[in-house]
Amino acid sequence: IEEYAARQSAILNNAEVCLLLTFRRAEAVAKLLRPRVRSLSAVVDAEKLIQAADKAPPPSPGALPLHVTGSRARRGSDLALLQYTSGSTGDPKGVMLTHANLLANIRAIGEAVQLRPDDVGISWLPLYHDMGLIGAWLTLLHFGTPLAVMSPLAFLTRPERWLQAFHKHRGTISAAPNFAYELCVRKIADKDIQGVDLSSWRAALNGAEPVNPETLERFRERFAGYGFRREAQLPVYGLAEATLAVTVPPLNRGPLVDRVERQTFTAEGRAVPAALEDETAIAFVSSGKALAGHEVRIVDEIGNEVPDRAEGFLWFRGPSATSGYYRNSKATETLLPRGPATDPGEYAWINTGDRAYRADGEIYVTGRVKDIIIKGGRNLYPHEVEELAARADGIRKGCIVAFGLTDEATGTEKLVVVAETRERDMPRRAALASAVTDLVSRGLGLPPDRVELIPPGSIPKTSSGKLRREETKQLYLAGTLSLSRAPAWLQIVRLGTGSTLRNLGREILAGVRRGLEILYGLYFGVVFLLWIVPTWVMVQFIKDHKEAGRFTSSALKVLFALIACRVRVVGKEYMETPGAKIYASNHTSYFDVLPLMLGLGVPYRFVAKMEVGGMPFIGAFLKRMGHLKFDRSDPQSRLRQAQEMEEFLRNGESVFVFPEGTFAAEDGVRPFQLGAFKAAVATGAPVIPVSLAGTRRFLRDGTYLPRPTSVTITLSPPIFPSTTTNNPNPADSSDWHELIRLRDATRAAIVRHAAEPLL
């Protein structure tokens, strides 16, 4: 509800709406928008308006009827409506459409699909969506074609009702997004459509989102036995800035799927036809040719047309094209790359924001410019990544988003896959993430850098069910993607309090919270300084490194009591496992070492990065207690560290490692390095997984103020290597597989209790 209010407020403010017409059940919610929209003077119930008109006295002789008072003759160039679009960005823009735009698109659609008065349309699409309002209602009204309609909820709850309507009304034409056809394949049982005849369906338009060639084939196969014909399938392309439609394929042909060489296309942007036996090929579906009276071109970065089968930017122009966005000159400049048309009878070129190529005169749309992920010199297409991830059992179909995150270290992008699942069990979630990684890796030739599993309903979508990829990405970066929504009643209460009061309260609470954090941070700093100086001095007089560790562990009890930080240890009995051991923990903060030393004591040697060794006091502590350090940037240092680790283990001394090697502000357990597991295989030492929870919250990377919290340390049962060769060789498949097994088993055990996802 709050998201709806925010989006509607943005639209109403941009349009400077003064009267909001609604229906009785939504009137109360609509009135909550008034404080957010300065221009809004009244919210009117449509039923009451009709009743008032019916009760109005009849007009005097010669006077105009009430409903046309003040009206004037309209011209084709007059504004007919503002069609608000946000695509997948969540930023509403009002597309200005004239009466001439509407009529041009409606007539061109009718010509393309050869609409006749004896056709029968079937639609469940909402009227607030262009395909429902213009494609179904207005187009069929213009051509005098009967239309059978149903509520969108009627279709979504029972998709078979759509197909049953074709049988009942002998429907011939209908349009829907790709997800609707996929929903029919997955949800409709034979018993629900027994006796249904789809042979009258001659035009099944599929658009408003990327068309999946596999969905086309699955739908045809599933319903061929009910009379549905492949020739009826019409993959189309359009956008709000074109009123609705831009391209339509020929009737009675069926979809045309182009398979192209993956490597050539993703690296060079050339759509070279793939061999029949090429299992790595990318498939794109033809959207046909431009509507009559319209023109489409594929251009490069400076607007020059590119050759056939070369990918470029998709532009179009024609009588259906908008002149721009209402009260948004900046967005209009981007939309019209060559400016508005200057001569009568000419039309401005529109930059669709999509990429495509032309082959044999037909257009193949490859993806949104802003959505394409550039990784390792290759263009990756989100819809293809999402289709691959959707094959994993347990992942919600149509609820997956792939996007790129800039990686400054490599100069490329990281591939992130966010997928909804109802699975809550942590081991099964880890297995599900691994399955997604494997499917994408096998399909694309490279794995995703991160797989994030989130609860159902977390991914934002448009009114037509399209994924809001950019909004999903921003929510992911903000760490709010998987946060549960407040109950509806609470959202309404929040809206009812008014934005001013709400913002004021937020500012006050944020100020109080920030003040308390600063006070706690100052207190911690003073306490830590008063604790560490005498403790450090005392440690210098202790010669034995084990005694120094025990003294420090005891002294930490005083520190943690003073800073009100409780440390809880679970599974400490696993430390009694005989012999030398490798303790492996997730790494979340510079603070990690202190609660570990307090909770577990120091019956081991820490392996720390060089930067920690250079820190005041802390570095001296580590050195005095005989802990190991290494330079992450020096491969030789890593090798020496591994050799030292093995030597200590063979001498009966345990070691403590952070296999991630580093940490970051973002929640999650990062990929593990193999050094510790190589040492385990070489020496036969078991690995004890250690899960840290709470330390990241205490002192998150990039922050300087600690926050009061509690810390939980969970030890899992030891994991023993099954091979004990003295020098494990990566070329030896058995040793290599054992390294990987140890790593994966340790990581899974840590994630189980760390309350953070796998990255």
Residue 759 near residue 663, CB atoms below 8 Å? no
Give the type of residue at 441: S
Task: Answer with the residue of higher pLDDT: 608 or 333.
Answer: 333
| Contact of 6 with 499, CB cutoff 8 Å | no
Whose structure tokens read 């060089």?
A: 610
Condensed to tens digits (0 to 9), the pLDDT of residues 734-743 reads: 577 888 888 8
Q: Report which of residues 707 and 439 the model is more confident about.
A: 439
Query: Is residue 355 helix, strand or coil?
Result: strand
Contact between 724 and 730 (Cβ < 8 Å): no
Question: Is residue 45 within a helix (H) or strand (E), and if so which, with residue range?
Answer: strand 42-45
pLDDT of residue 483: 63
- What would the pLDDT profile of 610-649 be if each residue is shown by its tens digit? 665 555 556 666 666 666 665 555 656 566 677 788 888 8
Q: What is the dihedral of CA 388, 390, 395, 396, to 10 degrees?
A: 150
Does the pLDDT value for residue 185 go beyond 80? yes
In whole angstroms, give the CA distance from residue 219 to residue 235.
13
User: Average pLDDT in the 708-718 region?
Assistant: 89
Do residues 617 and 670 lie in contact, with contact meaning Cβ atoms separated by under 8 Å? no
How many other CB atoms are found less than 10 A from the CB of residue 747?
Answer: 22
Of 375, 335, 439, whose CA–CA distance to 94 is shortest?
335
Q: Which of 85-99, 134-148, 329-343, 351-365 has the lowest mean pLDDT?
A: 85-99
* C-alpha–C-alpha distance, residues 31 and 22, integer Å: 10
Per-residue confidence (pLDDT) for residue 412, from 0 to 100? 66
What pLDDT was estimated at residue 238? 94
Q: Write down the pLDDT at residue 731.
A: 47
pLDDT band at 460 (very low <50, low <70, confident <90, very high): confident
Instruction: State percent of the chain over pLDDT 90.
Output: 38
Q: Which residue has the higher pLDDT, 525 or 620?
A: 525
Average pLDDT of the chain, as a whole number: 84
Token pair in block for residue 114:
């050869």
Angle at the Cα of 403 from the Cα atoms of 401 and 409, rounded to 5 degrees: 150
* Token pair for 424: 């809550």
Q: What is the average per-residue pLDDT within 354-379?
A: 88
Tens-place pLDDT, residues 533-543: 888 778 777 77
569 to 276, 707, 710, 753: CA distances (angstroms): 59, 20, 11, 12
- Model confidence at 596, in pLDDT bands (50, 70, 90)? confident
In the chain the domains, ranked by start, together with CATH numbers, are 1-57 (no CATH), 85-368 (3.40.50.12780), 373-488 (3.30.300.30), 508-754 (3.40.1130)
Give the burial class of 377: count Cβ atoms within 10 A of its Cβ; 0-12 exposed, 13-18 middle, 19 or more buried. Answer: exposed
Angle (CA) 188-189-192 rounded to 5° is 90
Res 66 pLDDT > 50: no
